[in-house]
Amino acid sequence: MTEISQQIADLGASLFHRRLTHGRTGNISARSGDGLLITPTGGSLGDLSPDGLSFVSLAGEHLSGPRPSKEAFLHAALYRARPAAGAVVHLHSTYSVAVSCHDGLDPDDALPPLTAYYVMRVGRLPLLPYHAPGDPALGPIAERAARTAHALLLANHGPIVAGGDLGSAADAVEELEETARLWLLLRERPIRPLTPEQVRSLT
């Protein structure tokens, strides 16, 4: 067991117990050597064993440990697209999933820049077209989108976010969830997002 495995298990418990994902949804990975340590398929993020993680290559092939998350190919696509990424988190966080089911979103950037922290932690949020969980056809689409954005929203599914390390990836996916919630709270009222100039001054 490595320190990073313990960090994955701790993060999974923290996200699960704060209801940022539920049941047996969501998956977490961290870059390790020339591959990635990833949560196994079919388990709860609230009940991860640091010794029970899977090891997968950057090409997405299972190298050791239990059967990996069915989204391992998606995590691998994000690491290939973003050489500086050290961790990836995918959740079924309620408000982000709610936004991902909305019709008429801008597929280049699904949410407006409501707050400075959203701009700093998330930035642009491409919306990827619906695919069933585990459908490898989403891999090349995600890899292309992740070259210019570290946070992606999967239509009718949920967010997947890369970060320099586990803490940064978690920080970004939590900021996204809170902003999705704010956006839904504000829907009945006129919104004044940050201006392009205000956004530029933050990035």
Ligand X SMILES: O=C(CO)COP(=O)(O)O
E strand or H helix that includes residue 121: helix 116-121
Q: Are 77 and 147 in contact (CB under 8 A)?
A: no
DSSP one-letter string for 6-30 = HHHHHHHHHHHHTTSS-TT--EEEE
- Catalytic choice (79, 95, 117, 143): 117
CB of 41 to ligand X, least distance (A): 3
- Catalytic choice (3, 71, 118, 188): 71
**Active site (annotated) includes residue 118:** no
**Active site (annotated) includes residue 71:** yes
CB of 74 to ligand X, least distance (A): 8
DSSP one-letter string for 154-169 = ETTTEEEEEESSHHHH
CB of 133 to ligand X, least distance (A): 4
Using CB positions, name the residue nearest to ligand X.
69
Structure-token match 């990833």, residue found? 38
CB atoms within 10 A of CB 94: 17
Residues in touch with ligand X (CB under 6 A) = 24-27, 41-42, 69-71, 90, 92, 133
Q: What are the tokens at 201?
A: 């001054």
* Cβ proximity to ligand X, 23 vs 167, nearer residue: 23
CB of 26 to ligand X, least distance (A): 5
Residues designated catalytic: 71, 117
